[in-house]
Amino acid sequence: MSDKTNDSQTLGPDGVGEPTRRDFLYIATGMAGAVGAVAAAWPFIDQMRPDASTLALASIEVDVSALQPGMSLTVKWRGKPVFIRNRTEKEIEDAKGVPMAELKDPVARNANLSPDATASDVDRSAGKGKENWIVMIGSCTHLGCVPLGQAGEYGGWFCPCHGSVYDTAGRIRKGPAPENLHIPNYAFISDKVIRIG
């Protein structure tokens, strides 16, 4: 008698074949090949990503000379919309008149100030002498939708997806959004040019 192993498939009681050693070898070889292909492709995929220093230095300059009071501009920065608004005197006065106790989020969320700065109108704006300018990342802090400008009951921004309402300083007043619209790092490099980033 021969001690050879029989690789032919044996049928089980339900008529389905039981796996053999050859089946296992096919599966193991296929898996090893797939892992090897991914390992070989990864350096090519990884080199397409920009490095951290490129992302950290990414900035844009925006000419706002054409924006009269009451006008807005939306630009794209790092793949996100950024709202730039030259507010009217009435919009500034409305924002200044809101008691801090009424605010849902009392923090400024302004990357140009300390993290604990309050959400006063001046801390949300471009600062003393430039209170008319407001620059904010245009992504709702609820789920990242893009709110509509000069809409909603406070005359600021309204996110129709889930009903978040922001005032003329970009502060959340009603709806599910937990935070004010965030303000990126920016500076006026001249009277009419803003550098964002």
Give the residue carrying structure tokens 């005359």: 155
* Separation between Cα atoms, residue 188 and residue 177, nearest integer Å: 29
> Residues with Cβ < 8 Å from 83, sequence gap 6 or more?
72, 73, 74, 134, 135, 136, 137, 138, 149, 157, 170, 181
- Catalytic choice (93, 162, 163, 189): 162
CA distances from 4 to 1, 8, 58 (A): 9, 12, 68
Active-site residue, 142 included: no
Residue 187: count other Cβ atoms within 10 Å of its Cβ.
13
* Spatial CA neighbour of 118 closest among 109, 126, 108: 108
- Residues annotated as catalytic are 162
